[in-house]
Amino acid sequence: MSSPALADFLDASVRSATPLLLAALGETVAERSGVINVGIEGTIIAGCLAGLVAATVVGPNAALLAAGIAGIGIALIFVVVAIGLAADQIITGTAITMLGLGLTSTLYRVIYGDGGAALSAPTLSVIGIPLLQDIPVVGRALFRQPLPTYLAELMVPAIWYWLHRTQSGLAIRATGENPGASLASGISTRRVQTTAVLFGGMCGGLAGGTLVLAQVGTFTEGMSAGRGFVAIAIVALGRWHPVGVAMAALVFGMASALQFLFQALNLNLPYQIFLALPYLLTLLALALTRGVYRAPAALGARKAVRG
Amino acid sequence: MSAPAPRLALVGIRRQYGPVIALDAASLTVQRGEVHALLGENGAGKSTMMKIVFGLEQPDAGTIHIDGDSAHIRSPRHAMRQGISMVQQHFALVDALTVAENVALGGTARLDLDATRAHIRELSAASGLPIDPDARVRDLTVGAQQRLEIIKALSRDTTILILDEPTAVLAPQEARELLTWMRRFATNGGTVILVAHKLREVLSVADRITVLRKGRTVFTGHARDTTESSLADAMLGGPDMSSADARVIGATRAHSRQAGHSSSSAKTRDVLVLTGVGVDDAQGVQRLRDVNVTVRAGEIVGVAAVEGAGQQELLRVMAGRTTPTRGTATLPSDVGFAPEDRHRDAIVLDATITENVALKGAGRRHGIIPWSALRDATRTLMRLRDVRAGDAQAAVRTLSGGNQQKLVLGRELSGSPEALVVESPTRGLDIRATADVHAALRAARDQGTAVIVYSSDLDEVLALADRVIVVAEGHVREVAADRDTVGRAMLAPADR
Amino acid sequence: MMRIARMVLDPLLAGILSLLMLAALLVVSGYPVAESLTALWRGAFGSWSVIASGTLVRATPLLFAGLAIAVAFRAGILNIGAEGQLLIGAAAATAVAMIMPTSLGLAGALLVLLAGGLAGGAWAAVAALLRVRFGVLEVISTIMLNVIALNITGLLVRGPLQEPTRIFPQSALIDQALRLPRLIPGTRLHLGVALAVCCALGLAWFLRYTAPGFRLRMTGSNAAAAASAGGIDVRRVMFSAFVMSGALAGLGGAVEVTGVTYALYENLSPGYGYTAIAVALLARLNPASAIGAAVVFGSLEAGASAMQRDAQVPAGLVGVVEACVILMLLASEWIGAKVQGMRSLNRGGTPHDQVLEASSSPA
């Protein structure tokens, strides 16, 4: 394999992995608090549209912020129904995904006319880190990327620190494992879960913003293309741990970058196998591993102790 | 010279749940630096009183004073801020987290696990309660988990520590160490409220003792002035039952005696025989040891026990719902079972009455269900058992607790099983429904069914039983069916 | 009698509710309400041919998938894998159709459908096994199996099942003899529509009148009581219900390829498996009511294209309506529970009391 092709492959892997990692890190925090938000797809697509709209007005950097806020907005609906009204998390999440997809395609047409003309947004420029970006093969993948990639990479240790070294992170983990014990320690489980889900929504929004502002440069209906579901798989493969999630996101990113590599190398291999492979890996990992790195015990519990 | 104000005082406390009065003009006075034992039978109101002290419940009437000042304890958090902590029987620990993380949980300061670990080591050394701050809770023994609960309380500057049946889950050696620690904590100025059943244990550690009976404080005094016998007298009470329950029980007891005599003569066939039965729980702790019991046709065997003595396991073995770890259980093919937690284990609330009746034997049913015949059978059953509801098609959720229980009993007795196992059959029911349930159990007995009844209310056991067996710390033995003997047997292990 | 009335009234009410919601959304986003709704009506119920070729044909996969969801939820299983099970069913049906001798006629077509049902069931069995044997949450596993199914379909239409010219990512057309016959000539109404209705009624009968159906319902409502009081093997019941759910979705996929598309495509399903959740909830998990609920959503989707064409209203708005219906049903369930809680309060014994009882009884 020639090294330019490999460098392209690594670069594409990191690019594909970035939005996945952002969304998955947010979902990790939500799931560690005991809430599974299947509606993450809805927050991603909301971030996509908000990113595009805001970019045309205030430019790409502020637009990334707008995308995050849009994600929080969608997650807020989930919070009201699934935490406030204690409705089933899975059904609520599915509805949130449908809502996000429907709402964005409607708004897009309302704002830009029914032609849905391919509007292009100003995109985030690539930030190269001097010298490091010139390292052969890996330099470009690691040190010549747009802002969200660096953001996602910084979030990995930051979330680890949050979950494992702060009082509120401890409260999140305890609530996801045993809400009753959390409550007995004077913690408001409702508040903890709300915070975690809204953070997850923000990350989903940022993931959507990244898609539009750092990669595609425009909005198309349903462009989130199931990345919310991929994020849920990544969280499981990454064993609910930020570092594991980062590696899992890279695995999924590489799988989808393989098709570019095959094209570059003129290989006519069925890339779908490689796209499906990480999911099989995740199922296997879920079935076979036990012990510390497992799903939070109270994940998805609907009638957790209220508080 | 005036005596110092008591550390904690509860005066004239009343707490009512629906028609049930849990506490009525109850009081408790606890001094600084003492181990104060709170005694009482099941349902005497001990737990409710402690929940009020810890802010989990609010009294309907009465006042609480801390160091002489009137206090209102709104929540556990609020209680903890005033130095009150409670170690409940079911630990509130997160078993995926480490010891240090569990101690730090819910704190307000910045999380500093190194400081927490050091603090735990310090507390551990000072209190003589060994614990590894880095161990994961799920790897700890039950005894270590309890030490952790206490360390957790100490880390919050607890000065009043409530321990609810702390030795029930411990091995004898661990229990002795805990009692020693309690003594030392009190000597150093702390206050312990010990909720307990075991009289010998209480006498060995407590400075003063308060006894509750039927929601009232009936005795307060120094431990040195009491004996096991005088405490048992106070807990079990004399013939001075004053509540409405007493009238019902008195009336039905007379009935029981008559019926018992008329039926016990002919039917003496052994229906249900346990030989050398032992049951271990998931942790490998022996819940039942070498149980030998025979129940004959046409008799009611009453089971008496304090909470967690092993009666749950015994009843489930008898009902064929649990396979014994050791020994043999010879059971008839059809044993009716009315478990204590009806809503969880006996009925499907959202299904209709007919469907709940059809649930019996559903695992073996084939083909098409004859609903119209079942509906008729259900209507007959409802008439027979006096289950009051709109119709056989009404959802069970719409029935009152009493009618739900009559339905469960009716279903379990349909097809005339050879044996019926009943657990706390009248819990949460009003007087009328209680009388109906008792009548149904006696009728079953008179028709030749072997009936086994456990109730946390000793008077109910005595009112119903032809014979009484007592479960204490996993041992089972038969005793004479008089209140005093049974009550004492419940409180003392079988080896004495 | 009451039951039949509710079967019709519930979806009708929901249909009206959805229309009101749609009207509100139209007002908010500034579209002409009357014109848009007229276009919607024309597209969904304007003529017999639109009803037959549009609404009912759109409702059919929704009904199959809705039944799949309903039967799983009734057993207490959160199967959100209907989408993948449907795709696998469609793929298997197509594969079998390619090798099936055409001389078999309708019997051959039925065998093709059978293949779809079996494949969907087998696909669900993977998640069921993971749940029952390894304790893997079915939510996570079915999401992953959905994506894997999508990739398998993509692989098939570019590989083994690709049409002979090897240009388009789709399978060859299924032979005329193996296609589902049209019920009304000149429309696209096919036998599968009748089959779906039969499945719905059959499933309703199964749940209500047969012993396994009864076990399934009791297990879903209260597994502990089903096991303790009924002697039911709840794990076995859940496994079978999961497989049955997958088989229904797989059958839906097979009907779609043999009755509508006549070929396997990668994006055969525009999210039928997810809309089906709304169908099932709207039907209160009652299979017979699901017929009406599927027609409601089928008409919304059929009408949406007409609305987009004639009144320039984005079709995505229908997705918003569907989502709002689900969220409102969830909220109404909560309100219902509150009312129930207050009733039990009046009967003596507070909910708090019950909580205490529950928390004091060891697990």
Tell me, yes or no, if C74 comes closer than 8 A to chain B by beta carbon: no
Closest by Cβ to B359, choosing from C209, C218, C353: C218
Contacts of C208 in chain B (CB under 8 A): 371
Contacts of B343 in chain C (CB under 8 A): 354, 358
Q: Are C72 and C143 in contact (CB under 8 A)?
A: no
DSSP code for A214:
I
Q: Which chains neighbour C (Cβ–Cβ under 8 Å, 3 or more pairs)?
A: A, B
Lowest mean pLDDT, pick from B226-240, C36-50, C300-314: B226-240
B337 with C215: Cβ contact below 8 A? no
In this structure, what token pair is assigned to residue B341? 């937690």
Mean pLDDT, chain B, whole residue set: 86
Tell me, yes or no, if A126 comes closer than 8 A to chain B by beta carbon: no
| HSE (side-chain half, CA atoms, 13 Å) at B253 | 15
Segment A162-168 mean pLDDT: 94
Tell me, yes or no, if A117 comes closer than 8 A to chain C by beta carbon: no
Sign of the Cα torsion A219, A222, A226, A231 reads positive
Give the pLDDT score at A110. Answer: 83
A99 with C317: Cβ contact below 8 A? no
Lowest mean pLDDT, pick from B212-216, B249-253, C29-33, C308-312: B249-253
φ, ψ at B2 (rounded to 5°)? -105, 140
Q: Are C128 and C242 in contact (CB under 8 A)?
A: yes
Give the pLDDT score at B296. Answer: 94
Domain contains C360: no
pLDDT band of residue C335 (cuts 50, 70, 90) is low
* Residue of C210, C216, C222, C224 lying closest to C240 (CA atoms): C216
- Containing B63, the helix (H) or strand (E) segment is strand B61-66
Segment C201-207 mean pLDDT: 97
Contacts of B101 in chain A (CB under 8 A): 170, 173-174
Determine the residue type at B316.
R
Lowest mean pLDDT, pick from B39-43, B344-348, C275-279: B39-43
Q: Are C50 and C302 in contact (CB under 8 A)?
A: yes
Q: What is the ipTM of this complex?
A: 0.86
- What is the CB neighbour count within 10 angstroms for residue B285? 12
Contacts of A173 in chain B (CB under 8 A): 94, 96-97, 101
Give the pLDDT score at C353. Answer: 30
Give the pLDDT score at C86. Answer: 98
Segment B402-425 mean pLDDT: 92
Tell me, yes or no, if C187 comes closer than 8 A to chain B by beta carbon: no
CA atoms of C355 and B135, how far apart (whole Å): 32
For chain A, percent of residues with pLDDT exceeding 90: 53
Residue B496 confidence (pLDDT) above 50: no
Residue C358 confidence (pLDDT) above 50: no
Tell me, yes or no, if C58 comes closer than 8 A to chain B by beta carbon: no
Residues 174-193 of A with CB under 8 A from B: 174, 177-178, 180-182, 184-187
The residue among C31, C320, C325, C332 with the most chain A CBs within 10 A of its CB, best to mutate, is: C320
For chain C, percent of residues with pLDDT exceeding 70: 89
C144 with A233: Cβ contact below 8 A? yes
Contacts of A185 in chain B (CB under 8 A): 92, 105-106
Domain architecture of chain A: domains with CATH: 3-113+144-288 (1.10.3470)
3-state secondary structure of B27: strand
CA atoms of A293 and A291, how far apart (whole Å): 6
Tell me, yes or no, if C201 comes closer than 8 A to chain A by beta carbon: no
Contacts of C217 in chain B (CB under 8 A): 351, 355
Number of B/C CB contacts below 8 angstroms equals 102
Determine the residue type at A3.
S
Per-residue buried b or exposed e for C50-62, using 16+ beta carbons within 10 Å of the residue's own CB: bbbbbbbbbbbbb
Contacts of B94 in chain A (CB under 8 A): 173-174, 177-178, 181-182
Query: Domains of chain B: which residue ranges?
Result: 8-236, 244-334+417-491, 347-414
pLDDT band of residue C139 (cuts 50, 70, 90) is confident
C358 with B363: Cβ contact below 8 A? no
3-state secondary structure of B161: strand
- Containing A14, the helix (H) or strand (E) segment is helix A3-32
Tell me, yes or no, if C224 comes closer than 8 A to chain B by beta carbon: yes
Segment B335-361 mean pLDDT: 93
Closest by Cβ to B19, choosing from C225, C233, C348: C348
Q: pTM of the predicted model, to two decimals?
A: 0.85
Give the structural domain span for C257.
2-11+59-302
Min Cα separation A21/chain C (Å): 17
CA atoms of A65 and A53, how far apart (whole Å): 12
Residue A35 confidence (pLDDT) above 70: yes
Tell me the per-residue pLDDT of B425-451, one tens digit each, with 9 for 90 and over: 988 777 778 888 999 999 999 999 999
CA atoms of C7 and C9, how far apart (whole Å): 6
Counting the structural domains of chain C, the total is 1
Give the pLDDT score at B335. Answer: 93
Residue A267 confidence (pLDDT) above 80: no
C222 with B368: Cβ contact below 8 A? no
φ, ψ at C137 (rounded to 5°)? -55, 130
Closest by Cβ to B107, choosing from A165, A167, A177: A167
B105 with A182: Cβ contact below 8 A? yes
Give the pLDDT score at C336. Answer: 62
Residue B130 confidence (pLDDT) above 60: yes
B18 with C226: Cβ contact below 8 A? no
The residue among B91, B105, B114 with the most chain A CBs within 10 A of its CB, best to mutate, is: B105
Closest by Cβ to A181, choosing from B80, B94, B104: B94
Domain contains C336: no
Residue B302 confidence (pLDDT) above 90: yes
Side-by-side strand order, sheet with B286-296 = B286-296, B270-280, B326-330
Residue B361 confidence (pLDDT) above 70: yes
CA distances from B244 to A34, A90, B61, B241, C105 (A): 47, 50, 21, 9, 79
Segment C11-38 mean pLDDT: 84
Residue A304 confidence (pLDDT) above 70: no
Residues 133-162 of C with CB under 8 A from A: 133-134, 136-137, 139-141, 143-148, 150-152, 154-155, 158-159
Q: Show the 3-state SS of A113-162.
A: CCCCCCCECCCCCEEECCCHHHCCCCHHHHHEEEHHHHHHHHHHHHHHHH
Side-by-side strand order, sheet with B475-479 = B335-338, B419-423, B450-454, B300-304, B467-472, B475-479
pLDDT band of residue B309 (cuts 50, 70, 90) is confident
For chain B, percent of residues with pLDDT exceeding 70: 92
C231 with B350: Cβ contact below 8 A? no
Segment C154-159 mean pLDDT: 90
Cβ neighbors of A232 (< 8 A, separation 6 or more) are A24, A27, A36, A38, A40, C140, C143
Min Cα separation C362/chain B (Å): 8
Question: Dihedral through CA B174, CA B180, CA B185, CA B189, nearest 10?
Answer: 160
Give the pLDDT score at A283. Answer: 86
CA atoms of A44 and A5, how far apart (whole Å): 30
C211 with B349: Cβ contact below 8 A? no
Per-residue buried b or exposed e for A14-36, using 16+ beta carbons within 10 Å of the residue's own CB: bbbbbbbbbbbbbbbbbbbbbbb
The CATH number of domain B8-236 is 3.30.1130.10? no
φ, ψ at B300 (rounded to 5°)? -105, 120
Residue A298 confidence (pLDDT) above 90: no
Give the pLDDT score at A63. Answer: 94
Q: Domain B244-334+417-491: which topology? A: Rossmann fold (3.40.50)
Q: Which chains neighbour A (Cβ–Cβ under 8 Å, 3 or more pairs)?
A: B, C
Tell me, yes or no, if B341 comes closer than 8 A to chain C by beta carbon: yes
Residue C201 confidence (pLDDT) above 90: yes
φ, ψ at B285 (rounded to 5°)? -80, 135
Side-by-side strand order, sheet with B216-222 = B84-87, B160-164, B191-195, B35-39, B208-213, B216-222
Burial of residue B364, with CB atoms counted within 10 A of its CB: 0-12 exposed, 13-18 middle, 19 or more buried = exposed
Closest by Cβ to C218, choosing from B47, B344, B351: B351
Q: Are C283 and C165 in contact (CB under 8 A)?
A: no
Min Cα separation C195/chain B (Å): 23
Segment C146-162 mean pLDDT: 91
Contacts of C141 in chain A (CB under 8 A): 283, 286
Domain contains C261: yes
Sign of the Cα torsion B72, B73, B75, B81 reads positive
B106 with A182: Cβ contact below 8 A? yes
Give the pLDDT score at A134. Answer: 82
Tell me the per-residue pLDDT of C262-307, one tens digit each, with 9 for 90 and over: 999 988 998 899 889 889 988 889 999 899 999 989 998 889 888 8
CA atoms of B379 and B394, how far apart (whole Å): 11
Residue B389 confidence (pLDDT) above 60: yes
Give the pLDDT score at B264. Answer: 46
Q: Show the 3-state SS of chain C.
A: CHHHHHHHHHHHHHHHHHHHHHHHHHHHCCCCHHHHHHHHHHHHHCCHHHHHHHHHHHHHHHHHHHHHHHHHHHCCCCCCCHHHHHHHHHHHHHHHHHHCCHHHCHHHHHHHHHHHHHHHHHHHHHHHHHHHHHCCCHHHHHHHHHHHHHHHHHHHHHCCCECCCCCCCEECCCCHHHCCCECCCCCCCEHHHHHHHHHHHHHHHHHHHEHHHHHHHHHHHCHHHHHHHHCCCHHHHHHHHHHHHHHHHHHHHHHHHHHHHCCCECCCCCCHHHHHHHHHHHCCCCHHHHHHHHHHHHHHHHHHHHHHHHHCCCCHHHHHHHHHHHHHHHHHHHHHHHHHHHHHHHCCCCHHHHHHHHHHCCC
Tell me, yes or no, if C218 comes closer than 8 A to chain B by beta carbon: yes
Residues 338-357 of C with CB under 8 A from B: 340, 347-350, 353-354, 357
Give the pLDDT score at C192. Answer: 94
DSSP code for B118:
H
